[in-house]
Amino acid sequence: MTDYDVVVIGGGFAGATVARELRHKGLGVLIVEARDRFGGRTWTREALGHRIELGGTWVHWIQPHVWAEITRYGLELTQSPLPSWSRWIVDGELRKGSAEDFLGLLDGGLSSFLEDSRVRFERPYEPFHGEDLKEIDGLSVTDRLDEMGLDREQYAMNEGFWSICFNAPAREGALTQALRWGALSMGDWQLMLEAAATYKFAGGTRALMEAIIADGGADTQLSKPVALIERSGEGATVITRDADRISARAIIVTAPLNALNNIEFRPGLSEGKRAAASEGQASRGLKVWARLRGEMEPFVTLAPSDQPLMWLQYEYAVDGDSLLIGFGADAGRLDANDSAAVQKAIRTWLPDAEVVDSIGHDWVSDEFSQQTWPMLKPNQLTRYLRELQRPEDCIFLAGSDYANGWMGFIDGAIESGLQVSREVQEHLQVQA
């Protein structure tokens, strides 16, 4: 039995942030991480001849929480290359054009799609401010696309674009989730795309993770999956799978929504939290890195969600070869580590492509995530978010899955970590 003021379950950006904040207040904090590394759904690795990100990657100055951390630690950013040409698929037909052609075809539909985002979410970090969202929260992304009167080319491209954003077919994504991203980007879809896929850490996401962990100085235990959390009196006991028992006055759980039910709670979490975890959020796709033989100019491609890969973009030149990132809406349709299968998918756009090697991590099958980045389904914002954010005695949830703002981004994880750290301090002060 080991005693702490606070035990943080999970060493991703939310867990690292909340642990740092509480340690700076003089509290005894332990981070218990199931994996053998910190980072959660971010993971910097050396592979394919380059440093790559298997999980979350991009950041932007319109994301205030992560930008404050970049400033705090003096971290350097680098930029994904801007494309010079593009290819896209409509009704199975391959079409080609310049990057300007590509963006122009997307513009009309996406600008119209996000036209009311600032009205629906006047204060994006207060998602329930003002507007009654119930009338639209039951709608999917494709519900709106269907009523917009787009031609077949525009529809296919917009459906593919939003499916990439959700890492799931657009029909499964909530309209409100898309509008939240839009509102955070001032209703400008090109700014939203820039925030989602342009600027990244020169030293990898691990550069920020290592800085936060070192600054916080919390005790840490890796490779310690948690089996059970028992509440009793004014605190709780965390019991790991290898039967370690750790008691604390407050417990912060940063497990993604789809993996939340992997931990047993006694007494159980509220019915609303259990229902949200059982239902799960939308994302279930994949991210793949592929090294192609030969040097290429930067490019971007797009396809509807019925293709194994919907998006492909050039990232790096490596010893005369080209390193690409791709995304698909269904992790079950493509094994990112099967180079032959990845080559077949890429040849949808590049018929002569030769894949030297490929790599990815199946976050959906990973028991500690069971999803990629969090994106809500219809009705989940109004039905579940408030309840997921509500503490239960000494139990708090933190993570990008529970953020008010940039849900699905590193910024959302940091935002949630900061919010929950304040709530835990208030809880412990009352308890004292």
Domain residue limits, the chain: 2-41+204-281+368-431, 97-195
For residue 192, the cross-strand partners are none
CA 284 to chain centre: 11
307-317 burial, b at 16+ Cβ within 10 Å, e below that, comes to bbbbbbbbbbe
What pLDDT, on the 0 to 100 scale, is given for residue 131?
76
For residue 3, the cross-strand partners are 247
Tell me, what DSSP letter sits at residue 72? H
**Cα 304 to Cα 150: distance, rounded to the nearest angstrom:** 15
Report whether 408 contacts 11 (CB < 8 A).
Answer: no
pTM score of the predicted model: 0.97
The CATH number of 97-195 is which of 3.40.50.150, 3.40.30.10, 3.50.40.10, 3.90.660.10? Answer: 3.90.660.10
Q: Which of helix, strand or coil describes residue 250?
A: strand
Between the alpha carbon of residue 119 and those of residues 16, 180, 188, 191, the distances in Å are 34, 11, 13, 18
Burial class (CB in 10 A: 0-12, 13-18, 19+), 31: buried
Residue type for position 305: S
Report whether 377 contacts 281 (CB < 8 A).
Answer: yes
Residue whose structure tokens are 């047993």? 264
Tell me, what DSSP letter sits at residue 140? B
**Cα 113 to Cα 49: distance, rounded to the nearest angstrom:** 40
**Cα 31 to Cα 19: distance, rounded to the nearest angstrom:** 7
Q: Which tokens go with 117? A: 């985002």
Residues in contact with 125: Cβ distance below 8 Å, sequence separation at least 6, in sequence order: 404, 405, 415
Q: Where are the alpha helices (DSSP H) in 151-204?
A: 152-166, 175-184, 189-197
What pLDDT, on the 0 to 100 scale, is given for residue 1?
56
Tell me, what DSSP letter sits at residue 47? E
The CATH number of 2-41+204-281+368-431 is which of 3.50.50.60, 3.30.420.40, 3.90.320.10, 3.30.1540.10? Answer: 3.50.50.60
Q: Is the dihedral of CA 28, 33, 36, 39 positive or negative?
A: negative
Q: Which of helix, strand or coil describes residue 237?
A: strand
**Cα 99 to Cα 319: distance, rounded to the nearest angstrom:** 26
User: pLDDT 10s per residue in the chain (432 long)?
Assistant: 569 999 999 999 999 999 999 999 999 999 999 999 999 999 999 999 999 999 999 999 999 999 999 999 999 999 999 999 999 999 999 999 999 999 999 999 999 999 999 999 999 999 999 878 988 999 999 999 999 999 999 999 999 999 999 999 999 999 999 999 999 999 999 999 999 999 999 999 999 999 999 999 999 999 999 999 999 988 999 999 999 999 999 999 999 999 999 999 999 999 999 999 999 999 999 999 999 999 999 999 999 999 999 999 999 999 999 999 999 999 999 999 999 999 999 999 999 999 999 999 999 999 999 999 999 999 999 999 999 999 999 999 999 999 999 999 999 999 999 999 999 999 999 987
What pLDDT, on the 0 to 100 scale, is given for residue 132?
86
